Amino acid sequence: MKPAKLHFWILGWFSVALCCWRTSETFTQSDIRSHPWKKLYFAHHWPVTVCKMNANDCHDPPKYWTIHGLWPDRAEDCNRTWHFNVTEIKDILSDMRHYWPDVLHSSLNRTQFWKHEWDKHGTCAATLEVLNSQKKYFGKALELYQHIDLNGCLLKAGIKPSSSYYKMPAIKEALTRFYGVTPKIQCIPPEEGEKAQTIGQIEFCFTKELQLVNCVVLEGESNPMQAHFKLGTSELSVCNDTLPTYYPSEVQGHK
């Protein structure tokens, strides 16, 4: 190839490469902007209720509130190429199995639940430096769990699993008084022949600075997170203040 032709060929190749690089950069920035979020929902669920919703392989569920997930609002599945790798959280596996267990599947070796949470929510939360790796994301959730200490709060308020019913406003008041913010409480509505709803999930909201804030949705503001969570034939929704509330101690014998 003659020098002149070689010169133009190199210039042409460089221009194409530069164009592709700029296009790729623009796509990446656009992709990030397409997943904006403002706060985190930190969800605890009551394993006995989870098992009631879907028995599956659910045997002898924990009798304490466990982690369901740490969810940015307005964002899901932000990076499908950032795959879950359990070796990145090997140092915290013991705590993960205890405080963030897969309630529906009894095997300690199952990691599918954590993979789902990372793929759907962790990849979006990772825009924060304190959550920008799998170990940071899961580790920070464990840290928040200890800080919230929902189990301890409810016990101090005299709210514990019982065959008797609670009034939902009393549960809300106890949580608000303890934390200074209003969480979101979800229940299974009464099934046919039942009069009480069953408490199943409590969500706390955090700012990007990891400060607690109210979870209530202001008038005129849409709720970015799904209001309903379904397992099997049962579905969680925001609890009804007027219905008696059941806080079950066992999977069997629900009234």
Q: Which domain holds residue 236?
A: 40-247
pLDDT in tens, 103-114: 988 777 789 999
Our answer to whether residue 121 is catalytic in this structure is yes
**pLDDT above 90: residue 101:** yes
**pLDDT above 50: residue 95:** yes
Catalytic-labelled residue, pool 44, 45, 68, 203: 68
Residue type, 234: S
Residue 178: exposure state from Cβ atoms within 10 A (0-12, 13-18, ≥19): middle
Q: Which residue has the higher pLDDT, 234 or 25?
A: 234
Q: Which residue has the higher pLDDT, 223 or 144?
A: 144
Residue 25 domain-assigned? no
Residue 193 domain-assigned? yes
What proportions of the chain, in percent to the nearest 5, are helix, strand and coil? 40, 20, 40
Q: What is the pLDDT of residue 18?
A: 39
Residue 16 domain-assigned? no
Residue 198 domain-assigned? yes
The runs of H, that is alpha helices, within 42-149 are 47-53, 93-99, 112-117, 123-125, 134-148
Our answer to whether residue 254 is catalytic in this structure is no
**What are 249-252's contacts with CB under 8 Å, separation 24+?**
249/48, 249/63, 249/161, 249/162, 249/163, 250/48, 251/48, 251/51, 251/52, 251/55, 251/58, 251/61
Our answer to whether residue 194 is catalytic in this structure is no
Contact of 120 with 74, CB cutoff 8 Å = no
Residue 62 domain-assigned? yes
Catalytic-labelled residue, pool 35, 44, 98, 117: 117
pLDDT in tens, 33-67: 456 899 999 999 999 999 988 766 687 899 999 99
Q: What is the pLDDT of residue 230?
A: 52
Residue 24 domain-assigned? no
pTM across the whole model: 0.81
pLDDT in tens, 117-156: 999 999 999 999 999 999 999 999 999 999 999 999 999 9
Q: d(Cα 190, Cα 243) in Å, to the nearest integer? A: 9
Q: What is the CATH number of the domain that holds 232?
A: 3.90.730.10
Average pLDDT over residues 208-235: 65
Q: d(Cα 119, Cα 77) in Å, to the nearest integer? A: 6
Residue 191 domain-assigned? yes
Q: What is the pLDDT of residue 162?
A: 94
Q: What is the pLDDT of residue 70?
A: 98
**pLDDT above 50: residue 17:** no
Catalytic-labelled residue, pool 35, 121, 173, 235: 121
Residue 163 domain-assigned? yes
Percentage of the residues of the chain whose pLDDT score is greater than 70? 76
**255 Cβ neighbours under 8 A, 6+ residues apart:** 163, 194, 196, 246
Number of folded domains in the chain? 1
